[in-house]
Structure 1
Amino acid sequence: MPEFQIQSLLDTNTVALHDVHCAGQCRRRSDEECTSATHLVFPYRGAYLRHVGSDEVVADANHVLFFNAGQGYQVSHPVSGGDASLSLRLPETLVRELAPASLLLQGEKLAFRRQSLRIDPRAQTLVALLRHSLQNDAIEPLEAEGLLLTLVCRSLGPRTSHESGASHARRRLADRVKLLLTSDLSRRWTLSEIAAEIGGSAVYLTQVFQQVEGIPLYRYHLRLRLARALDLIGDYQDLAALATDLGFSSHSHFTSAFRQTYGRSPAAFRQSLLPS
């Protein structure tokens, strides 16, 4: 068995998420390694020690670890059985937006002050949800990106610059996003595509939309598509075709989303439209 097995779960212009399995064969400190880009690593199985100089931390499912670009580190596996983690890479600009200044070292080079932070149960459930959903192709890129940004925000703590309420300009920005989503309901949007069309930061857009509408951008998009399904469902004998036409990844994904939103399956809803 190789020491590492790496599976790409999501790769967009906004995020890159990999599922990394390590066999844990190195019981003592490994040779020094470093990464070329800053990563947030969420262990979900097993445990290992990460050493940076004389400092060391335990990597387990209660923590997020920060792998700073260019920073040397070593790992060891005092616990047998190997480990598995989700490794998340974000552009530096997004990390600076999401991370409170108190967590970052001062200077032009992006770097976290600490090796790790403890995460709460909600963050742990997001890790599991993202991993299973992406592996089973049961989640769309836009939703996955939104949940990953939520995971990062939850893990790093609240932003100190948060503002309550929504200004006129923010409402107009949210309106532009709504119009863009409505222009092609079957398109499986990503945050980078929306940001490119609207202009501005993907993180800023998601935060403004949440503030204005009170629900995440991906859920708003989903409700638009499901409303279109309500409109078209009587015209389709093949509900799988309807799911495809509305851009859902599968019939089962469509059925699950529909049932969660409306409390019944698409077939049951369509049946209710027929004369008794």
Structure 2
Amino acid sequence: MADFSVEVLLKTETMSVRDVVCAGKCRHQSAEECARSTHLVFPYRGVYVRHVGRQAAVAEANQVLFFNAGESYRVSHPVEGGDACLSVSIDEELLRELVPREQLRDGPELAFRRARRRIDPRAQALLALIRHGLSRKVAETLEAETLVLTLVRRSLGERTSQAAGASAGRQKLVDRAKLVLASDLARRWTLAEVAREVGVSPVYLTQVFREVEGVPLYRYQLRSRLARALHLLDDYDDLTALGLDLGFSSHSHFSAAFRQAYGRTPAEFQRQVNLR
């Protein structure tokens, strides 16, 4: 049985969208793969690590990853549970119009300078709308294409996200902290516990994490839980149970946090994408 499955949700003249689900059985680095085209990958469930040469990037729901055509990479799953991503490929000429020039490498080939970039809660909500709309076949083609372009533009625009840049050492520290949180998303971690897991002091961890990610550690955990909620809304009739399963103290806490991030309550979001 294959370790992953791919479902084509949208394929038009200008773009394609694929839902890629991986069981995550390979804990160590996989065999080398090569990207056939330059595309964007939006993780929406779980976590994995992509290795390009000596560089490693944690793929999780607060980031978009860039895969460059002809670039070799390996994948590992240090956290159990597998992952799921939406892979977006856009016509090269159109993509050049969308990507700010400073984000591309010099040269004739279309290639991103960075391996990843942070996205904001609105982009996460837009991603969920696209995925649910296409998978449930309630989004028309024109609507879906427009939403995909909006998602890409929002994810690349300086006004809505920040480049995930830092020194290699600090980025590795932050990535280790992300993996600790992802190993048990519902757990009510203490700062000392996370710091102990990554081998630094709590003060240093909080300072570096905020400098690299642009948000405090606790808010990153909240965003990760809410991103997970977006994925699970289709599986739960009892939203109180969903909130508690994700580590929220109560339904009101879950609902308030969800509304603050995405502009509507979980129940309203369910109704909007026809999940219930």
CA–CA distance in structure 2, aligned partners of residues 92 and 158 of structure 1: 21
Partner residue, 1:88: 88
TM-aligned CA deviation for residue 158 of structure 1: 5.1
TM-aligned CA deviation for residue 141 of structure 1: 0.3
Partner residue, 2:44: 44
Residue deviations 1:12-32 (CA, integer Å, cap 9, x gap): 001100000011111001111
CA–CA distance in structure 2, aligned partners of residues 145 and 158 of structure 1: 22
TM-aligned CA deviation for residue 95 of structure 1: 1.2
Residue deviations 1:47-106 (CA, integer Å, cap 9, x gap): 000111111111000000000000011110001111000000011111111000111001
CA–CA distance in structure 2, aligned partners of residues 92 and 74 of structure 1: 24
Partner residue, 2:122: 122
Partner residue, 1:206: none
Partner residue, 1:169: none
Q: Secondary structure at the match of 1:145?
A: helix
Partner residue, 1:251: none
Q: What is the number of equivalent residue pairs in this alignment?
A: 160
Larger Rg: 1
Q: Secondary structure at the match of 2:95?
A: helix
CA–CA distance in structure 1, aligned partners of residues 91 and 147 of structure 2: 16
Q: Secondary structure at the match of 2:153?
A: helix
TM-aligned CA deviation for residue 125 of structure 1: 0.4
CA–CA distance in structure 2, aligned partners of residues 5 and 73 of structure 1: 19
What RMSD over aligned residues (CA atoms) do the two structures have, in Å?
1.3
Give the aligned residue type for 1:5.
S
Partner residue, 2:59: 59
CA–CA distance in structure 1, aligned partners of residues 94 and 54 of structure 2: 30
Partner residue, 1:135: 135
Please give the TM-score of this superposition, normalised by the length of structure 1.
0.57
Partner residue, 1:232: none
1:98 aligns with 2:80: no
Q: Secondary structure at the match of 2:34?
A: coil
Q: Secondary structure at the match of 2:131?
A: helix
CA–CA distance in structure 1, aligned partners of residues 3 and 157 of structure 2: 33
Q: Secondary structure at the match of 2:149?
A: helix
CA–CA distance in structure 2, aligned partners of residues 91 and 110 of structure 1: 11
Runs of 4 or more above 4 Å deviation: none
Q: Secondary structure at the match of 1:51?
A: strand
Give the aligned residue type for 1:74.
R
Q: Secondary structure at the match of 2:75?
A: strand
TM-aligned CA deviation for residue 46 of structure 1: 0.3
Partner residue, 1:146: 146
Residue deviations 1:139-185 (CA, integer Å, cap 9, x gap): 100000000000000000159xxxxxxxxxxxxxxxxxxxxxxxxxx
Partner residue, 1:72: 72
Give the aligned residue type for 1:146.
T
Give the aligned residue type for 1:72.
S
CA–CA distance in structure 2, aligned partners of residues 135 and 91 of structure 1: 22
CA–CA distance in structure 1, aligned partners of residues 132 and 117 of structure 2: 23
- Any residues of structure 2 matched to 1:160-239 within 5 Å, and which? none
Q: Secondary structure at the match of 1:50?
A: strand
